[in-house]
Structure 1
Amino acid sequence: MKFLFWGWFGVFLLLNSSDASTGDRSTHFRNCMRRCEFERCENGGSDFAAREIQPVHLWLMQWTCTDECKYDCMWRTVDAYNKRNYKTPQFYGKWPFIRIFGVQEPASVLFSLFNFYANLQGILNFRKTVRPDAPMFWFWHFFCIVSLNGWFWSTVFHARDFPNTEFMDYSCAFSMVLMSCYCMIMRFMKDFPRFLKIAVTVFFIAFYANHVTYLKLGKFDYLYNMQVNILVGTFTAIFWFAWAIYNRFRLPYVWKIAAFVSVACVSTLLEVLDYPPLFYILDCHALWHLSTVPLVYLFYSFITDDCVFLRKEQAERLDVEKVKKHN
Protein backbone atom coordinates (compact mmCIF):
# COMPACT_ATOMS: atom_id res chain seq x y z
CA MET A 1 0.00 0.00 0.00
CA LYS A 2 1.75 3.12 -1.19
CA PHE A 3 0.94 5.66 1.44
CA LEU A 4 2.30 5.80 5.01
CA PHE A 5 5.57 4.09 4.15
CA TRP A 6 6.00 5.95 0.83
CA GLY A 7 7.65 8.79 2.67
CA TRP A 8 10.22 6.46 4.22
CA PHE A 9 10.80 4.86 0.86
CA GLY A 10 11.47 8.21 -0.82
CA VAL A 11 14.97 8.50 0.58
CA PHE A 12 15.97 5.27 -1.16
CA LEU A 13 14.13 6.21 -4.33
CA LEU A 14 16.49 9.08 -5.00
CA LEU A 15 19.54 6.93 -4.42
CA ASN A 16 18.38 4.57 -7.16
CA SER A 17 17.48 7.31 -9.66
CA SER A 18 20.04 8.17 -12.25
CA ASP A 19 20.26 9.46 -15.80
CA ALA A 20 23.12 7.10 -16.63
CA SER A 21 24.63 3.92 -15.19
CA THR A 22 27.61 1.66 -15.68
CA GLY A 23 25.89 -0.44 -18.33
CA ASP A 24 24.69 2.29 -20.68
CA ARG A 25 27.97 4.20 -20.27
CA SER A 26 30.04 1.19 -21.29
CA THR A 27 31.83 1.12 -24.63
CA HIS A 28 30.30 -2.26 -25.42
CA PHE A 29 26.75 -0.92 -25.04
CA ARG A 30 27.39 2.29 -26.99
CA ASN A 31 29.03 0.51 -29.89
CA CYS A 32 26.18 -1.99 -29.97
CA MET A 33 23.62 0.84 -30.03
CA ARG A 34 25.32 2.64 -32.92
CA ARG A 35 25.48 -0.55 -34.97
CA CYS A 36 21.93 -1.61 -34.15
CA GLU A 37 20.31 1.74 -34.93
CA PHE A 38 22.26 2.01 -38.19
CA GLU A 39 21.24 -1.48 -39.36
CA ARG A 40 17.66 -1.74 -38.05
CA CYS A 41 16.14 1.73 -37.60
CA GLU A 42 14.69 4.55 -39.68
CA ASN A 43 13.27 8.00 -38.97
CA GLY A 44 15.58 8.72 -36.06
CA GLY A 45 14.96 5.37 -34.40
CA SER A 46 11.18 5.59 -34.16
CA ASP A 47 10.55 3.11 -36.99
CA PHE A 48 12.00 -0.19 -38.09
CA ALA A 49 13.57 -0.76 -41.47
CA ALA A 50 11.12 -2.08 -44.04
CA ARG A 51 12.56 -5.59 -43.93
CA GLU A 52 11.85 -6.07 -40.21
CA ILE A 53 8.37 -6.84 -38.88
CA GLN A 54 7.72 -6.06 -35.21
CA PRO A 55 5.51 -8.45 -33.18
CA VAL A 56 2.05 -7.05 -32.49
CA HIS A 57 2.34 -7.18 -28.68
CA LEU A 58 5.54 -5.12 -28.78
CA TRP A 59 3.91 -2.61 -31.11
CA LEU A 60 0.96 -2.31 -28.74
CA MET A 61 3.36 -1.68 -25.86
CA GLN A 62 5.00 1.07 -27.95
CA TRP A 63 8.47 -0.42 -28.29
CA THR A 64 10.24 1.68 -30.91
CA CYS A 65 13.23 0.55 -32.89
CA THR A 66 15.56 2.47 -30.57
CA ASP A 67 13.89 0.82 -27.57
CA GLU A 68 14.45 -2.59 -29.15
CA CYS A 69 18.09 -1.75 -29.72
CA LYS A 70 18.47 -0.68 -26.10
CA TYR A 71 16.89 -3.93 -24.92
CA ASP A 72 18.98 -6.16 -27.17
CA CYS A 73 22.21 -4.29 -26.46
CA MET A 74 21.47 -4.37 -22.75
CA TRP A 75 21.51 -8.17 -22.77
CA ARG A 76 24.58 -8.31 -24.99
CA THR A 77 26.34 -6.08 -22.48
CA VAL A 78 25.13 -8.17 -19.52
CA ASP A 79 26.44 -11.32 -21.22
CA ALA A 80 29.79 -9.62 -21.84
CA TYR A 81 30.01 -8.58 -18.18
CA ASN A 82 29.07 -12.06 -16.95
CA LYS A 83 31.70 -13.75 -19.16
CA ARG A 84 34.33 -11.57 -17.52
CA ASN A 85 32.88 -12.26 -14.03
CA TYR A 86 31.97 -8.61 -13.60
CA LYS A 87 28.97 -7.53 -11.54
CA THR A 88 25.69 -7.17 -13.41
CA PRO A 89 25.46 -3.52 -14.46
CA GLN A 90 22.49 -1.19 -14.31
CA PHE A 91 21.17 0.66 -17.36
CA TYR A 92 19.73 4.15 -17.10
CA GLY A 93 19.41 3.76 -13.34
CA LYS A 94 17.66 0.37 -13.47
CA TRP A 95 18.57 -3.29 -13.30
CA PRO A 96 18.09 -5.38 -16.44
CA PHE A 97 14.73 -7.17 -16.54
CA ILE A 98 13.42 -9.84 -18.88
CA ARG A 99 10.32 -8.39 -20.48
CA ILE A 100 7.22 -10.54 -20.76
CA PHE A 101 4.74 -9.69 -23.53
CA GLY A 102 6.40 -6.30 -23.79
CA VAL A 103 6.10 -5.56 -20.06
CA GLN A 104 9.34 -4.11 -18.70
CA GLU A 105 9.06 -5.13 -15.03
CA PRO A 106 6.58 -8.02 -14.91
CA ALA A 107 6.91 -8.78 -11.18
CA SER A 108 6.29 -5.18 -10.13
CA VAL A 109 3.32 -5.02 -12.51
CA LEU A 110 1.84 -8.21 -11.06
CA PHE A 111 2.30 -7.10 -7.46
CA SER A 112 0.90 -3.64 -8.21
CA LEU A 113 -2.20 -5.39 -9.51
CA PHE A 114 -2.29 -7.43 -6.29
CA ASN A 115 -2.37 -4.18 -4.33
CA PHE A 116 -5.10 -2.81 -6.59
CA TYR A 117 -7.21 -5.91 -5.98
CA ALA A 118 -6.52 -5.84 -2.22
CA ASN A 119 -7.79 -2.26 -1.99
CA LEU A 120 -10.88 -3.12 -4.01
CA GLN A 121 -11.61 -6.17 -1.90
CA GLY A 122 -10.88 -4.18 1.25
CA ILE A 123 -13.48 -1.51 0.51
CA LEU A 124 -16.07 -4.13 -0.48
CA ASN A 125 -15.58 -5.93 2.84
CA PHE A 126 -15.70 -2.56 4.58
CA ARG A 127 -19.09 -1.83 3.00
CA LYS A 128 -20.48 -5.19 4.17
CA THR A 129 -19.79 -4.30 7.80
CA VAL A 130 -19.99 -0.52 8.12
CA ARG A 131 -23.25 1.39 7.75
CA PRO A 132 -23.30 4.39 5.38
CA ASP A 133 -24.26 6.74 8.22
CA ALA A 134 -21.12 5.89 10.18
CA PRO A 135 -18.59 8.70 10.66
CA MET A 136 -15.68 8.53 8.18
CA PHE A 137 -17.63 6.15 5.91
CA TRP A 138 -17.26 8.28 2.78
CA PHE A 139 -13.80 9.55 3.64
CA TRP A 140 -12.47 6.01 3.42
CA HIS A 141 -14.26 5.52 0.10
CA PHE A 142 -12.44 8.55 -1.30
CA PHE A 143 -9.24 7.15 0.14
CA CYS A 144 -9.85 3.86 -1.68
CA ILE A 145 -10.50 5.63 -4.99
CA VAL A 146 -7.21 7.52 -4.65
CA SER A 147 -5.41 4.26 -3.80
CA LEU A 148 -6.90 2.39 -6.74
CA ASN A 149 -5.83 5.21 -9.05
CA GLY A 150 -2.33 5.18 -7.57
CA TRP A 151 -1.88 1.44 -8.01
CA PHE A 152 -3.27 1.62 -11.54
CA TRP A 153 -0.56 4.09 -12.52
CA SER A 154 2.05 2.06 -10.68
CA THR A 155 1.06 -0.85 -12.91
CA VAL A 156 1.24 1.28 -16.06
CA PHE A 157 4.61 2.79 -15.13
CA HIS A 158 6.24 -0.56 -14.40
CA ALA A 159 4.78 -1.96 -17.60
CA ARG A 160 6.35 0.82 -19.72
CA ASP A 161 8.60 3.53 -18.38
CA PHE A 162 7.89 6.79 -20.23
CA PRO A 163 8.23 10.36 -18.89
CA ASN A 164 4.43 10.67 -18.70
CA THR A 165 3.89 7.32 -16.98
CA GLU A 166 6.71 8.16 -14.56
CA PHE A 167 5.07 11.49 -13.73
CA MET A 168 1.69 9.84 -13.20
CA ASP A 169 3.19 7.14 -10.98
CA TYR A 170 5.03 9.63 -8.78
CA SER A 171 2.21 12.16 -8.57
CA CYS A 172 -0.45 9.52 -7.87
CA ALA A 173 1.78 7.82 -5.31
CA PHE A 174 2.06 11.16 -3.52
CA SER A 175 -1.73 11.53 -3.71
CA MET A 176 -1.95 8.32 -1.64
CA VAL A 177 0.55 9.66 0.88
CA LEU A 178 -1.36 12.92 1.18
CA MET A 179 -4.79 11.28 1.25
CA SER A 180 -3.68 9.02 4.07
CA CYS A 181 -2.56 12.06 6.04
CA TYR A 182 -5.80 13.90 5.25
CA CYS A 183 -8.03 11.02 6.37
CA MET A 184 -6.02 10.67 9.56
CA ILE A 185 -6.52 14.35 10.36
CA MET A 186 -10.23 14.11 9.54
CA ARG A 187 -10.46 11.16 11.93
CA PHE A 188 -8.85 13.21 14.69
CA MET A 189 -11.09 16.21 13.86
CA LYS A 190 -14.34 14.24 13.79
CA ASP A 191 -15.94 16.48 16.47
CA PHE A 192 -14.54 19.76 15.15
CA PRO A 193 -16.79 22.43 13.54
CA ARG A 194 -17.51 21.87 9.85
CA PHE A 195 -15.86 25.11 8.72
CA LEU A 196 -12.54 23.93 10.14
CA LYS A 197 -12.83 20.65 8.27
CA ILE A 198 -13.58 22.54 5.07
CA ALA A 199 -10.57 24.79 5.65
CA VAL A 200 -8.29 21.75 6.11
CA THR A 201 -9.74 20.13 2.99
CA VAL A 202 -9.10 23.24 0.89
CA PHE A 203 -5.53 23.38 2.22
CA PHE A 204 -4.82 19.77 1.22
CA ILE A 205 -6.30 20.23 -2.27
CA ALA A 206 -4.26 23.40 -2.81
CA PHE A 207 -1.11 21.75 -1.47
CA TYR A 208 -1.43 18.79 -3.82
CA ALA A 209 -2.25 20.99 -6.82
CA ASN A 210 0.80 23.15 -6.11
CA HIS A 211 3.05 20.10 -5.72
CA VAL A 212 1.93 18.44 -8.94
CA THR A 213 2.02 21.69 -10.93
CA TYR A 214 5.57 22.37 -9.80
CA LEU A 215 6.69 18.88 -10.85
CA LYS A 216 4.92 19.06 -14.20
CA LEU A 217 5.87 22.55 -15.33
CA GLY A 218 9.54 22.38 -14.46
CA LYS A 219 12.12 19.62 -14.79
CA PHE A 220 10.96 16.76 -12.58
CA ASP A 221 12.56 17.50 -9.21
CA TYR A 222 13.25 14.13 -7.59
CA LEU A 223 14.84 15.69 -4.51
CA TYR A 224 11.89 17.98 -3.83
CA ASN A 225 9.40 15.16 -4.40
CA MET A 226 11.38 12.90 -2.06
CA GLN A 227 11.54 15.52 0.68
CA VAL A 228 7.80 16.23 0.56
CA ASN A 229 6.99 12.51 0.65
CA ILE A 230 9.28 11.99 3.61
CA LEU A 231 7.78 14.94 5.47
CA VAL A 232 4.14 13.95 4.95
CA GLY A 233 4.70 10.20 5.32
CA THR A 234 6.71 10.56 8.53
CA PHE A 235 4.18 13.00 10.00
CA THR A 236 1.34 10.57 9.29
CA ALA A 237 3.16 7.52 10.65
CA ILE A 238 4.22 9.25 13.88
CA PHE A 239 0.76 10.61 14.63
CA TRP A 240 -1.03 7.33 13.87
CA PHE A 241 1.39 5.47 16.12
CA ALA A 242 1.13 8.03 18.95
CA TRP A 243 -2.66 7.99 18.69
CA ALA A 244 -2.66 4.18 18.87
CA ILE A 245 -0.52 4.18 22.01
CA TYR A 246 -2.69 6.85 23.64
CA ASN A 247 -5.89 4.86 22.95
CA ARG A 248 -4.50 1.36 23.51
CA PHE A 249 -6.70 0.68 26.57
CA ARG A 250 -9.87 2.43 25.39
CA LEU A 251 -9.82 1.04 21.83
CA PRO A 252 -8.52 -2.54 21.75
CA TYR A 253 -8.36 -2.64 17.92
CA VAL A 254 -5.75 0.14 17.62
CA TRP A 255 -2.99 -2.45 17.68
CA LYS A 256 -3.80 -2.92 14.00
CA ILE A 257 -2.77 0.59 12.98
CA ALA A 258 0.29 0.41 15.24
CA ALA A 259 1.31 -2.88 13.64
CA PHE A 260 0.56 -1.49 10.19
CA VAL A 261 2.83 1.52 10.68
CA SER A 262 5.60 -0.57 12.23
CA VAL A 263 5.65 -3.31 9.58
CA ALA A 264 5.27 -0.78 6.78
CA CYS A 265 8.35 1.09 7.93
CA VAL A 266 10.36 -2.12 8.32
CA SER A 267 9.31 -3.28 4.84
CA THR A 268 11.13 -0.33 3.31
CA LEU A 269 14.38 -2.13 4.12
CA LEU A 270 13.69 -4.06 0.93
CA GLU A 271 14.44 -0.83 -0.92
CA VAL A 272 17.87 -0.66 0.71
CA LEU A 273 18.75 -4.18 -0.50
CA ASP A 274 19.56 -3.16 -4.05
CA TYR A 275 20.53 -6.43 -5.75
CA PRO A 276 20.19 -7.63 -9.34
CA PRO A 277 16.78 -9.25 -9.96
CA LEU A 278 16.45 -12.95 -9.26
CA PHE A 279 16.20 -14.65 -12.67
CA TYR A 280 16.17 -11.07 -14.00
CA ILE A 281 12.49 -10.83 -12.97
CA LEU A 282 12.13 -10.56 -9.19
CA ASP A 283 13.92 -7.59 -7.61
CA CYS A 284 13.74 -6.01 -4.14
CA HIS A 285 11.40 -3.27 -5.32
CA ALA A 286 8.93 -5.87 -6.58
CA LEU A 287 9.19 -7.71 -3.26
CA TRP A 288 8.42 -4.43 -1.50
CA HIS A 289 5.25 -4.15 -3.56
CA LEU A 290 4.40 -7.74 -2.61
CA SER A 291 5.00 -7.05 1.09
CA THR A 292 2.43 -4.24 1.07
CA VAL A 293 -0.44 -6.50 -0.02
CA PRO A 294 -1.18 -8.05 3.42
CA LEU A 295 -0.81 -4.59 4.95
CA VAL A 296 -3.73 -3.40 2.84
CA TYR A 297 -5.99 -5.97 4.48
CA LEU A 298 -4.69 -5.02 7.92
CA PHE A 299 -5.41 -1.34 7.29
CA TYR A 300 -8.94 -1.96 6.03
CA SER A 301 -9.57 -4.19 9.02
CA PHE A 302 -8.54 -1.29 11.25
CA ILE A 303 -10.74 1.31 9.56
CA THR A 304 -13.67 -1.13 9.61
CA ASP A 305 -13.34 -1.61 13.38
CA ASP A 306 -12.86 2.10 13.87
CA CYS A 307 -15.96 3.06 11.89
CA VAL A 308 -18.05 0.49 13.75
CA PHE A 309 -16.85 1.99 17.02
CA LEU A 310 -17.55 5.55 15.84
CA ARG A 311 -21.06 4.54 14.73
CA LYS A 312 -21.74 2.97 18.13
CA GLU A 313 -20.34 6.02 19.93
CA GLN A 314 -22.48 8.31 17.80
CA ALA A 315 -25.63 6.28 18.52
CA GLU A 316 -24.95 6.34 22.26
CA ARG A 317 -24.43 10.09 22.20
CA LEU A 318 -27.72 10.61 20.36
CA ASP A 319 -29.52 8.43 22.91
CA VAL A 320 -28.10 10.49 25.76
CA GLU A 321 -29.18 13.71 24.04
CA LYS A 322 -32.71 12.33 23.57
CA VAL A 323 -32.93 11.45 27.27
CA LYS A 324 -31.75 14.92 28.27
CA LYS A 325 -34.25 16.48 25.90
CA HIS A 326 -37.18 14.51 27.37
CA ASN A 327 -36.11 15.33 30.89
Structure 2
Amino acid sequence: MLSPVVQFHGKWPFRRMLGMQEPFSVLFSFFNFAAHWHGMSRIQESIPAWHSLRKYYMAFGYFGLASWTFSMIFHTRDFAITEKFDYWGAGASVLYGLYLAVVRILRLDLENPPAPSDPASPVDRNLYSALHAASNVAVGIIQNLMWTGFSIVRYKKHLKSWTAWPGMIVAWLILAMSLELLDFPPWNGLIDAHSLWHLGTVVPTAWWYSFLIKDTQDDIASHRLKA
Protein backbone atom coordinates (compact mmCIF):
# COMPACT_ATOMS: atom_id res chain seq x y z
CA MET A 1 0.00 0.00 0.00
CA LEU A 2 1.15 3.52 -0.82
CA SER A 3 1.50 6.00 2.01
CA PRO A 4 -0.48 8.18 1.93
CA VAL A 5 -3.11 6.05 0.18
CA VAL A 6 -4.32 7.63 -3.05
CA GLN A 7 -7.26 6.89 -5.33
CA PHE A 8 -6.86 5.58 -8.87
CA HIS A 9 -9.65 6.73 -11.22
CA GLY A 10 -11.79 7.56 -8.21
CA LYS A 11 -11.34 4.16 -6.53
CA TRP A 12 -9.40 3.17 -3.41
CA PRO A 13 -6.94 0.26 -3.44
CA PHE A 14 -7.97 -2.80 -1.39
CA ARG A 15 -6.33 -5.95 -0.11
CA ARG A 16 -7.75 -8.98 -1.88
CA MET A 17 -9.21 -11.77 0.19
CA LEU A 18 -10.20 -15.13 -1.33
CA GLY A 19 -9.95 -13.50 -4.75
CA MET A 20 -12.39 -10.70 -3.83
CA GLN A 21 -11.32 -7.13 -4.58
CA GLU A 22 -13.49 -5.57 -1.86
CA PRO A 23 -14.22 -8.44 0.53
CA PHE A 24 -16.20 -6.54 3.14
CA SER A 25 -18.41 -4.87 0.56
CA VAL A 26 -19.13 -8.37 -0.74
CA LEU A 27 -19.84 -9.66 2.78
CA PHE A 28 -22.10 -6.77 3.73
CA SER A 29 -23.90 -7.02 0.38
CA PHE A 30 -24.56 -10.66 1.23
CA PHE A 31 -26.02 -9.59 4.59
CA ASN A 32 -28.48 -7.38 2.69
CA PHE A 33 -29.27 -10.24 0.31
CA ALA A 34 -29.99 -12.46 3.33
CA ALA A 35 -32.19 -9.75 4.89
CA HIS A 36 -34.33 -9.66 1.73
CA TRP A 37 -34.43 -13.47 1.53
CA HIS A 38 -35.55 -13.75 5.15
CA GLY A 39 -38.03 -10.92 4.71
CA MET A 40 -39.60 -12.58 1.69
CA SER A 41 -40.02 -15.82 3.62
CA ARG A 42 -41.77 -13.85 6.38
CA ILE A 43 -44.04 -12.21 3.78
CA GLN A 44 -45.03 -15.64 2.47
CA GLU A 45 -45.70 -16.95 5.97
CA SER A 46 -47.52 -13.90 7.35
CA ILE A 47 -49.47 -12.38 4.45
CA PRO A 48 -52.17 -14.54 2.83
CA ALA A 49 -51.81 -15.17 -0.89
CA TRP A 50 -55.13 -13.47 -1.63
CA HIS A 51 -54.06 -10.10 -0.26
CA SER A 52 -53.60 -7.58 -3.08
CA LEU A 53 -50.35 -6.13 -1.70
CA ARG A 54 -48.49 -9.40 -1.31
CA LYS A 55 -47.35 -9.64 -4.95
CA TYR A 56 -45.95 -6.09 -4.80
CA TYR A 57 -44.02 -6.87 -1.62
CA MET A 58 -42.64 -10.09 -3.08
CA ALA A 59 -41.56 -8.18 -6.20
CA PHE A 60 -39.78 -5.69 -3.94
CA GLY A 61 -37.88 -8.62 -2.46
CA TYR A 62 -36.89 -9.99 -5.86
CA PHE A 63 -35.58 -6.59 -6.93
CA GLY A 64 -33.59 -6.49 -3.70
CA LEU A 65 -32.14 -9.97 -4.26
CA ALA A 66 -31.09 -9.06 -7.81
CA SER A 67 -29.60 -5.73 -6.74
CA TRP A 68 -27.48 -7.22 -3.96
CA THR A 69 -26.43 -10.15 -6.14
CA PHE A 70 -25.05 -7.72 -8.71
CA SER A 71 -23.41 -5.76 -5.88
CA MET A 72 -21.63 -8.90 -4.66
CA ILE A 73 -20.43 -9.69 -8.17
CA PHE A 74 -19.19 -6.15 -8.81
CA HIS A 75 -17.28 -5.90 -5.54
CA THR A 76 -15.74 -9.30 -6.20
CA ARG A 77 -14.48 -8.23 -9.63
CA ASP A 78 -14.60 -4.63 -10.85
CA PHE A 79 -15.10 -4.75 -14.62
CA ALA A 80 -17.10 -2.42 -16.87
CA ILE A 81 -19.86 -5.03 -17.27
CA THR A 82 -20.08 -5.90 -13.55
CA GLU A 83 -20.14 -2.19 -12.71
CA LYS A 84 -23.02 -1.60 -15.13
CA PHE A 85 -25.05 -4.50 -13.75
CA ASP A 86 -24.46 -3.19 -10.24
CA TYR A 87 -25.70 0.27 -11.25
CA TRP A 88 -28.68 -1.09 -13.19
CA GLY A 89 -29.64 -3.42 -10.36
CA ALA A 90 -29.46 -0.64 -7.77
CA GLY A 91 -31.32 1.77 -10.05
CA ALA A 92 -34.09 -0.74 -10.75
CA SER A 93 -34.45 -1.45 -7.04
CA VAL A 94 -34.75 2.26 -6.22
CA LEU A 95 -37.26 2.85 -9.02
CA TYR A 96 -39.37 -0.08 -7.90
CA GLY A 97 -39.22 1.28 -4.36
CA LEU A 98 -40.78 4.51 -5.63
CA TYR A 99 -43.40 2.53 -7.54
CA LEU A 100 -44.20 0.53 -4.41
CA ALA A 101 -44.56 3.74 -2.38
CA VAL A 102 -47.11 5.06 -4.88
CA VAL A 103 -49.01 1.76 -4.94
CA ARG A 104 -49.19 1.40 -1.15
CA ILE A 105 -49.79 5.02 -0.18
CA LEU A 106 -52.44 5.59 -2.84
CA ARG A 107 -53.70 2.00 -2.52
CA LEU A 108 -53.53 1.39 -6.25
CA ASP A 109 -53.48 -2.33 -5.44
CA LEU A 110 -57.21 -2.09 -4.89
CA GLU A 111 -57.65 -1.19 -8.54
CA ASN A 112 -57.51 -3.78 -10.65
CA PRO A 113 -34.79 3.81 -19.09
CA PRO A 114 -32.74 3.13 -22.31
CA ALA A 115 -29.57 1.23 -21.56
CA PRO A 116 -26.53 3.53 -21.62
CA SER A 117 -23.71 2.90 -24.07
CA ASP A 118 -20.66 1.00 -22.87
CA PRO A 119 -18.31 3.33 -20.95
CA ALA A 120 -15.12 3.19 -22.94
CA SER A 121 -12.73 5.07 -20.68
CA PRO A 122 -12.12 5.68 -16.97
CA VAL A 123 -13.35 9.25 -17.41
CA ASP A 124 -16.58 8.03 -19.00
CA ARG A 125 -17.05 5.44 -16.26
CA ASN A 126 -16.63 8.10 -13.59
CA LEU A 127 -19.16 10.36 -15.34
CA TYR A 128 -21.60 7.47 -15.70
CA SER A 129 -21.14 6.66 -12.00
CA ALA A 130 -21.90 10.30 -11.04
CA LEU A 131 -25.04 10.44 -13.22
CA HIS A 132 -26.26 7.11 -11.81
CA ALA A 133 -25.75 8.29 -8.24
CA ALA A 134 -27.53 11.60 -8.92
CA SER A 135 -30.58 9.92 -10.45
CA ASN A 136 -30.81 7.40 -7.62
CA VAL A 137 -30.57 10.19 -5.05
CA ALA A 138 -33.36 12.15 -6.78
CA VAL A 139 -35.71 9.15 -6.90
CA GLY A 140 -34.72 8.19 -3.36
CA ILE A 141 -35.52 11.68 -2.04
CA ILE A 142 -39.02 11.56 -3.56
CA GLN A 143 -39.58 8.10 -2.12
CA ASN A 144 -38.29 9.11 1.32
CA LEU A 145 -40.51 12.20 1.41
CA MET A 146 -43.55 10.09 0.51
CA TRP A 147 -42.92 7.51 3.24
CA THR A 148 -42.09 10.16 5.84
CA GLY A 149 -45.29 12.06 5.07
CA PHE A 150 -47.23 8.79 5.13
CA SER A 151 -45.80 7.99 8.57
CA ILE A 152 -46.66 11.41 10.00
CA VAL A 153 -50.25 11.30 8.73
CA ARG A 154 -50.90 7.74 9.91
CA TYR A 155 -49.28 8.26 13.30
CA LYS A 156 -51.37 11.37 13.96
CA LYS A 157 -54.48 9.44 12.96
CA HIS A 158 -53.88 6.14 14.78
CA LEU A 159 -51.24 6.99 17.45
CA LYS A 160 -49.66 3.55 17.00
CA SER A 161 -45.87 3.43 17.23
CA TRP A 162 -45.43 1.04 14.29
CA THR A 163 -47.10 3.53 11.91
CA ALA A 164 -44.05 5.76 12.40
CA TRP A 165 -41.61 3.02 11.37
CA PRO A 166 -41.28 4.11 7.70
CA GLY A 167 -40.16 7.58 8.75
CA MET A 168 -37.72 6.12 11.28
CA ILE A 169 -36.34 3.73 8.66
CA VAL A 170 -35.90 6.63 6.23
CA ALA A 171 -33.93 8.54 8.90
CA TRP A 172 -31.72 5.49 9.49
CA LEU A 173 -31.04 5.08 5.77
CA ILE A 174 -30.14 8.76 5.41
CA LEU A 175 -27.61 8.41 8.23
CA ALA A 176 -26.22 5.25 6.61
CA MET A 177 -25.92 6.95 3.22
CA SER A 178 -24.09 9.87 4.81
CA LEU A 179 -21.18 7.48 5.36
CA GLU A 180 -20.53 7.76 1.61
CA LEU A 181 -19.64 11.42 2.15
CA LEU A 182 -16.71 10.46 4.39
CA ASP A 183 -14.91 8.57 1.60
CA PHE A 184 -11.83 7.67 3.68
CA PRO A 185 -9.07 5.23 2.64
CA PRO A 186 -9.99 1.64 3.56
CA TRP A 187 -8.91 0.55 7.04
CA ASN A 188 -6.15 -2.03 6.69
CA GLY A 189 -6.99 -2.03 3.00
CA LEU A 190 -10.32 -3.78 3.73
CA ILE A 191 -13.14 -1.61 5.12
CA ASP A 192 -14.11 1.74 3.60
CA ALA A 193 -17.08 4.11 3.88
CA HIS A 194 -18.91 2.39 1.01
CA SER A 195 -18.75 -1.03 2.68
CA LEU A 196 -19.98 0.50 5.96
CA TRP A 197 -22.91 2.01 4.07
CA HIS A 198 -23.81 -1.50 2.90
CA LEU A 199 -23.59 -2.71 6.48
CA GLY A 200 -25.79 0.16 7.65
CA THR A 201 -28.67 -0.86 5.36
CA VAL A 202 -29.04 -4.41 6.74
CA VAL A 203 -31.09 -3.61 9.86
CA PRO A 204 -33.49 -1.14 8.17
CA THR A 205 -34.10 -3.71 5.42
CA ALA A 206 -35.18 -6.32 7.97
CA TRP A 207 -37.16 -3.67 9.84
CA TRP A 208 -38.91 -2.67 6.60
CA TYR A 209 -40.27 -6.18 6.09
CA SER A 210 -41.58 -6.11 9.67
CA PHE A 211 -43.46 -2.91 8.79
CA LEU A 212 -44.91 -4.40 5.60
CA ILE A 213 -46.20 -7.40 7.53
CA LYS A 214 -47.59 -5.31 10.41
CA ASP A 215 -49.22 -2.87 8.00
CA THR A 216 -50.87 -5.66 6.01
CA GLN A 217 -52.12 -7.42 9.13
CA ASP A 218 -53.65 -4.14 10.29
CA ASP A 219 -55.27 -3.73 6.88
CA ILE A 220 -56.76 -7.23 7.09
CA ALA A 221 -58.04 -6.60 10.62
CA SER A 222 -59.69 -3.30 9.62
CA HIS A 223 -61.47 -4.98 6.73
CA ARG A 224 -62.76 -7.71 9.04
CA LEU A 225 -64.12 -5.09 11.42
CA LYS A 226 -65.89 -3.31 8.56
CA ALA A 227 -67.35 -6.60 7.38
TM-score normalised by the chain length of structure 1: 0.63
Question: How many equivalent pairs are there?
Answer: 219
Residue aligning to 1:15: none
Question: Does the 8 A contact of 1:174 with 1:229 survive in 2?
Answer: yes
Question: 2:139 aligned to 219, 232, 245, which one?
Answer: 232
Question: Does the 8 A contact of 2:43 with 2:54 survive in 1?
Answer: no
Residue aligning to 1:152: 69
The one-letter code sitting in structure 2 at the alignment partner of 1:274 is D
Residues 191/103 of structure 1: CA separation in 2 closer, same or farther (3 Å cut): closer
1:29-178 matched pairs, under 5 angstroms: 75=1, 78=2, 82=3, 87-178=4-95
Q: Which runs of 5+ in 2 are unaligned?
A: none
Is 1:293 matched with 2:212? no
Residue aligning to 1:311: 220
Cα deviation, 1:165-198, whole Å, max 9, x if unaligned, reads 0000001101111111101101123267736xxx
Matched residue of 2:201: which SS? helix
Give the Å deviation of 1:256.
1.1
Give the Å deviation of 1:89.
1.2
Question: Does the 8 A contact of 1:153 with 1:165 survive in 2?
Answer: yes
Question: Does the 8 A contact of 1:105 with 1:158 survive in 2?
Answer: yes
The one-letter code sitting in structure 2 at the alignment partner of 1:157 is F
Give the Å deviation of 1:310.
1.7
Q: Which runs of 5+ in 1 are unaligned?
A: 1-74, 196-209, 320-327
The one-letter code sitting in structure 2 at the alignment partner of 1:152 is T
The one-letter code sitting in structure 2 at the alignment partner of 1:225 is H
Q: Cα RMSD (Å) of the superposition?
A: 1.9
TM-score normalised by the chain length of structure 2: 0.89
2-side partners of 1:116 and 1:301: how far apart?
16
Is 1:258 matched with 2:167? yes
Question: Does the 8 A contact of 1:100 with 1:106 survive in 2?
Answer: yes
1-side partners of 2:164 and 2:70: how far apart?
31
Percent of aligned positions that are identical:
29
Residue aligning to 2:182: 273
The one-letter code sitting in structure 1 at the alignment partner of 2:188 is F
Matched residue of 1:93: which SS? coil
Residues 268/167 of structure 1: CA separation in 2 closer, same or farther (3 Å cut): same
Residue aligning to 2:106: 189
